Chains A and B, each alone.
Chain A
Amino acid sequence: MNAMVAAAVMIGVAVWEWPNLRRWGARGRAAFGVSWFLMLVWVVLAQLHVHLPNPIKLINTLAKPLAHRWLVPTPDRYW
């Protein structure tokens, strides 16, 4: 149900945006169409609990050794 509502909202916004597309030229129309379609697919998959790979987890994994090396808090003796 959530996925259907999300898809309906996304399609509704695209229809509302339709009159502007003529002003933006072929490349603008293509950019909007492709990116909006990708977002629609992503939001529907998210609502269906299909999770795509998370780049933040990858960055966290890469940063972990650096954080362990440089960002370990110094024990405080004064507070």
Chain B
Amino acid sequence: MAGVSARGATGLLSLPAPLTQYAGQDGWLAALVGIPFGLIPLAAWYVLDRRLPGRSFTEQARAFLGPVGGSLLAVLPVVLFATTLAATGREVVDVVLVEGLPRTPLLIVLPLLLLPPLYAVRSGLEALARLGEVMVPLGIGMLLMILLVSFKEMQPLNLRPFLASGWRPVWQGAAAPAAFYAESFFFLYILPQRGRDRAATLRAAAAGVVTVAVLLALSTAITVAIFGPLGTVLPAPVFQGTRVVSIAEFFTHLDSVLVVSWLAMSMVKIGVFLYCFCFALGQLLGMRDYRPLTLPAGAFTVISADQWFPSTSTVSHWLTHSWPFWGGVMELLPPLALAAAALVRRLPNRGERA
């Protein structure tokens, strides 16, 4: 559940636009093409967990690369989580500021939105998982309901012709969602606390990646079917889609339903990344508990969202032009490098194996 929310929450609203901008009517296909990038960190986790079970990425890095090399490699996820928290914070608050509270400062809205995920993170991973169990089905259910009721407004002819410009636009469109799916890298800090069955854990995590991809493909296809070429210029086309829905002129303006869905999933997303940021930083600093870092991490999210992304256009530019490269490198390189090291190097102390 946390996996679905952590990748899908903000992406479901912001990604259909860049997908259709590059891939046009094949945007839904681009959403599916990126799936393997979400599975790569999970495969790396599987390799690492077989060699050194029940340890987080930082501990495994120190075991395979030594204290200095391992710590250097473990800094990269902390930097990645920091940029992700800043961007996610800005994305989450932007919808509230633009659509609901345009006169309220970000420094008031974002801390209030952060209270539930902060409380869940301080209460531990289980509380975070329970938050996901409540929020994610609610979010997905509301989203599916909106997609269903907008069926009347769709024109399937907008989805044709199929692959008219070849595969290049599809790959270009797949860049941003692929980096979103590769956020499954955070599982390297969560899955060590898995149950007994390693394969079942891997299957559940992979199912999360596929679920997000299918939801994104569905939203993109419906956006294209409703708006056609206009979908490429709308900032949040799924959000605009809720405004054209009208059932018997009674159910109209379902945008509030989408906001509920989106905020529910975003809270879990921020919670997951806050947890991973605090946990990774705590282990890097040699702390036995990550909780002292939760409040400073919350403050960091608010200030960095305000200072690093001063406007909506900066976060939009980041998602379409920088995030595919930054996210791709930072999410795929560390787990692949460590998995390769784990396959090549012997553990210094074989007694560490479980």
- Contact mask for chain B residues 297-321; partner A; CB cutoff 8 A; 1 contact, 0 none: 0011001001111000010011011
CB-CB under 8 A from B21, the residues of chain A are: 73
State A38–B25 Cα separation when bound (angstroms).
Answer: 48
Q: Find out whether the CB atom of A63 lies under 8 angstroms from the CB atom of B299.
A: no
CB-CB under 8 A from A39, the residues of chain B are: 296, 299-300, 303
Q: A24-B292, A32-B292 are in contact. Are A74 and B168 (CB under 8 A)?
A: yes
Q: A32-B292, A35-B293 are in contact. Are A73 and B307 (CB under 8 A)?
A: no
3 closest residue pairs by CB, A with B:
A35-B296, A32-B292, A79-B229
Residue of B nearest to A71 (CB): B172
CB-CB under 8 A from A59, the residues of chain B are: 83, 322, 326
Answer whether residue B165 sits at the interface, using C-beta atoms and an 8 A cutoff. Answer: yes
Q: Which segment of B4-12, B138-146, B187-195, B283-291 sits at the interface? A: B283-291
Q: A46-B307, A71-B324 are in contact. Are A79 and B295 (CB under 8 A)?
A: no
**Beyond A24-B292, A70-B175, A77-B164, 4 additional pairs, beta carbon < 8 A:** A24-B291, A56-B314, A71-B172, A73-B172
Answer whether residue A1 sits at the interface, using C-beta atoms and an 8 A cutoff. Answer: no
Within 8 A of B (CB), among A52-79: 52, 54-56, 59-60, 62-64, 66-67, 70-71, 73-74, 76-79
Answer whether residue B24 sits at the interface, using C-beta atoms and an 8 A cutoff. Answer: yes
Residue of A nearest to B158 (CB): A79
Q: Output the least CB separation between A30 and chain B (Å).
A: 9
CB-CB under 8 A from A28, the residues of chain B are: 287-289, 291-292
State A62–B249 Cα separation when bound (angstroms).
Answer: 51
Q: Find out whether the CB atom of B175 lies under 8 angstroms from the CB atom of A79.
A: no
Q: Output the least CB separation between A34 and chain B (Å).
A: 9
CB-CB under 8 A from B282, the residues of chain A are: 31
Q: Find out whether the CB atom of B165 lies under 8 angstroms from the CB atom of A77.
A: yes
* B interface: dominant SS: helix
State A12–B278 Cα separation when bound (angstroms).
Answer: 22
Q: List 30 A-B contacts (CB under 8 A).
A: A21-B292, A25-B288, A25-B289, A27-B286, A27-B287, A28-B291, A31-B287, A32-B292, A32-B295, A36-B296, A38-B296, A39-B296, A52-B307, A54-B308, A55-B83, A56-B86, A56-B318, A56-B322, A59-B322, A62-B325, A63-B321, A63-B325, A71-B22, A71-B320, A71-B324, A73-B169, A76-B24, A77-B164, A78-B161, A79-B229
CB-CB under 8 A from B175, the residues of chain A are: 70-71
CB-CB under 8 A from A36, the residues of chain B are: 295-296, 299
State A31–B286 Cα separation when bound (angstroms).
Answer: 10
Q: Output the least CB separation between A18 and chain B (Å).
A: 12
State A9–B221 Cα separation when bound (angstroms).
Answer: 46
Q: A78-B24, A79-B229 are in contact. Are A66 and B325 (CB under 8 A)?
A: yes
Residue of A nearest to B87 (CB): A56
State A60–B308 Cα separation when bound (angstroms).
Answer: 11
State A27–B287 Cα separation when bound (angstroms).
Answer: 6
Q: A25-B288, A56-B318, A79-B228 are in contact. Are A13 and B295 (CB under 8 A)?
A: yes
Across the interface, A10 reaches (CB within 8 A) one of B168, B299, B307, B317, namely B299
Across the interface, A60 reaches (CB within 8 A) one of B169, B285, B289, B317, namely B317
State A17–B298 Cα separation when bound (angstroms).
Answer: 14
Across the interface, B172 reaches (CB within 8 A) one of A10, A17, A24, A70, namely A70
Q: Find out whether the CB atom of A67 lies under 8 angstroms from the CB atom of B289.
A: no
CB-CB under 8 A from A29, the residues of chain B are: 292
Answer whether residue B107 sits at the interface, using C-beta atoms and an 8 A cutoff. Answer: yes
